[in-house]
Amino acid sequence: MLQSDEARLARWEARVEWPMTALAVVFLVAYAWQVLDDKATTGLHAVLEIVLWGVWAVFLVDYLARFKLAENKGRFVVQHLFDLLAVLLPMVRQLRVLRLVSVLKVLNKRFQGKIRQRVGIYVGGVTVLVSLCASLAVLDAERHHANATITTFPDALWWTLTTMSTVGYGDRYPVTTEGRLVAALLMVGGIALLGVITGTIASWLVEKLKGVEEAELETAAEVRKLRAELAELRAELRADVRGPQPGVDARG
């Protein structure tokens, strides 16, 4: 029963992997449009809001379906904590961007076998995505506050880069509760991202060094084999050059 349920869960995740990724990208585009186009018409704003809530509804259905298929439901909740937060916090507008965690999950699953060969592309893509999401979220939370220091997208992007890199100049900082919550998540995420980058590069270097060592061992074995063959050839050549010994009957 356990294997059957886990197999069903795996099939479901494989079946919806790309559709959910596409929806996450749609969500990002709609959210970015809504945040950056602050003076959008009422009709356009309503359309974007419908798109965002529609994507949230699909993610909710997906989470419930996977939860139902999971045999060990407690372990499933722990392993998919961000997914749970994404469907439980839709009323906190700035945190809806957490649903884009699915994009990172899908990309990691798709390229986990090739991540070390494409470490630069992978790390660069994750960094850009996290920076964009954090910038949009903090701008959405901050710009209309009376004491806000983050009122434009360039301000938000600058704050994100300084926060993620742990530099923290202090010229831009969130003053709202939502903005500070985004900041806390970004700081934790930045540390985690740096850890992933360091671990990935270290693992890649170890594999490269291991490959070089194995290649050297194979080369040494081939050299020893060639030396043995050369020694046999020399011995045969010496025997042919010397010919039959004097006084020995070649017929006998």
pLDDT surpassing 60 at residue 117: no
Crossing angle of helices 42-69 and 2-36, rounded to 10°: 170
Given this model, what pLDDT does residue 248 score? 52
Which residue from 99, 101, 110, 115 is spatially nearest to 18, judged by alpha carbons? 110
User: How far, in Å, CA of 127 to CA of 124, rounded?
Assistant: 5
Average pLDDT of the chain to the nearest whole number: 80
* One-letter amino acid for residue 242 of the chain: R
Given this model, what pLDDT does residue 156 score? 95
pLDDT surpassing 60 at residue 116: no
C-alpha count within 13 angstroms, C-beta hemisphere, residue 200: 21
Q: How confident is the model at residue 40 (pLDDT cuts 50, 70, 90)?
A: confident
Given this model, what pLDDT does residue 128 score? 84
Token pair recorded at residue 112? 């986990």
Quickly count: other Cβ atoms within 10 Å of residue 28's Cβ.
19
Given this model, what pLDDT does residue 83 score? 77
Q: Identify whether the C-beta of residue 87 lies closer than 8 Å to the C-beta of residue 60.
A: yes
Q: What percent of the chain has pLDDT over 90?
A: 17
**Average pLDDT for 187-210:** 75
Find tokens 């186009």 and name the residue.
Answer: 37
Given this model, what pLDDT does residue 252 score? 47
Q: Identify whether the C-beta of residue 30 lies closer than 8 Å to the C-beta of residue 52.
A: yes
Q: Identify whether the C-beta of residue 55 lies closer than 8 Å to the C-beta of residue 21.
A: no
pLDDT surpassing 90 at residue 149: yes
User: How far, in Å, CA of 136 to CA of 34, rounded?
Assistant: 10
Q: How confident is the model at residue 102 (pLDDT cuts 50, 70, 90)?
A: low
Given this model, what pLDDT does residue 94 score? 56
Q: Which range among 124-138, 147-161, 170-184, 202-216 has the greatest average pLDDT?
A: 147-161
Token pair recorded at residue 56? 């949230």
**Average pLDDT for 198-207:** 75
Helix (H, G, I), strand (E, B) or coil at 85: helix
DSSP H/E element including 115: none
Q: How confident is the model at residue 92 (pLDDT cuts 50, 70, 90)?
A: low
pLDDT in tens, 125-141: 778 888 888 899 899 88
Given this model, what pLDDT does residue 103 score? 59
Give the Å distances, CA to CA, from 66 to 5, 163, 232: 10, 35, 67
pLDDT surpassing 60 at residue 31: yes
Token pair recorded at residue 48? 């974007």
Given this model, what pLDDT does residue 9 score? 86
C-alpha count within 13 angstroms, C-beta hemisphere, residue 92: 18
Give the Å distances, CA to CA, from 250 to 14, 140, 241: 78, 103, 15
pLDDT: is 18 or 157 the higher one? Answer: 157
